Amino acid sequence: MSHERLRDDVAAAARRLAHEGLLVGTAGNVSARDGDLVAVTASGVTLAGCRPEDVTVVSLEGAVVEGDLRPTSELSLHLGVHADSWADTGTAAVVHTHAPYSTAVACVLDELPVLHYQQLLLGGAIRVAPYATFGTPELAAAVREALVGRQAALMGNHGSVAVGGSLDAAVENALLLEWLAALHHRAAALGTPRALTAEEQDDVVRAALSRGYGTTHHHPAHNPAHDPAHDPAHDPAHNQENA
């Protein structure tokens, strides 16, 4: 992928997250990896209006390869997550937000329990990384540990991080995490939230695998191979040619 395309895609993801209300002002950052390069939003950029020139391309060691702006202060977090996950999970994108419900939950809980089965798409209960000052190696290390085996993590008194095999996947995971945090907030306002048990979660995984949950399928009653519309014998032009 060209640098131009990579920068454009990161900028578009940042604008979408801002439109969805997960990024406000300059708070938050987005990155995507292509081979040995990472494109990441620059420091101080208003993300709702992020442009390709507001995205800086760096090496895996953090050296600027393309762009005039200084990368985000959370560059070490992004590079660390990419380094951890590239070989194992194919993580190609990282999204860090200060989304309101996710941040609120990260100020209260040590872990976001599984109230709804869709949370299993993120790997299960979401860990909250202990608070550390933004932009520090301590924060990067805590978030990387919280992400082990997960597609998202919360950052104590700070925000959230979501990853994915593509920018679209990482954005969707960030949106799902925010929905789950809002769900917990609303459930807690009504009473004590009731989490799914480990057995119930295992049942969901088995059902999803057996039914192909989350993917599209042809209706079993419709087999294109037996559809008269696809049968040359029912094509008037075919019949006329062979009359």
Pairing of strands 126-129, 152-155: parallel
**CA 182 to CA 101: how far, in whole Å?**
5
Burial of 222 (0-12, 13-18, 19+ CB in 10 A): exposed
Place of tokens 């560059």: 75
Structure tokens belonging to residue 12: 């578009």
Residues known to be catalytic:
74
**CA 106 to CA 232: how far, in whole Å?**
61
b/e per residue, 106-145, with b = 16+ CB within 10 A? Answer: beebeebebbebebbbbbbbbbbbeebeeeeeebbebbbe
Neighbours of 24 (CB within 10 A): 16
Kindly list the distances between the CA atom of residue 197 and the CA atoms of 7, 107, 125, 129, 155, in Å, as whole numbers in the listed order: 42, 24, 11, 23, 25
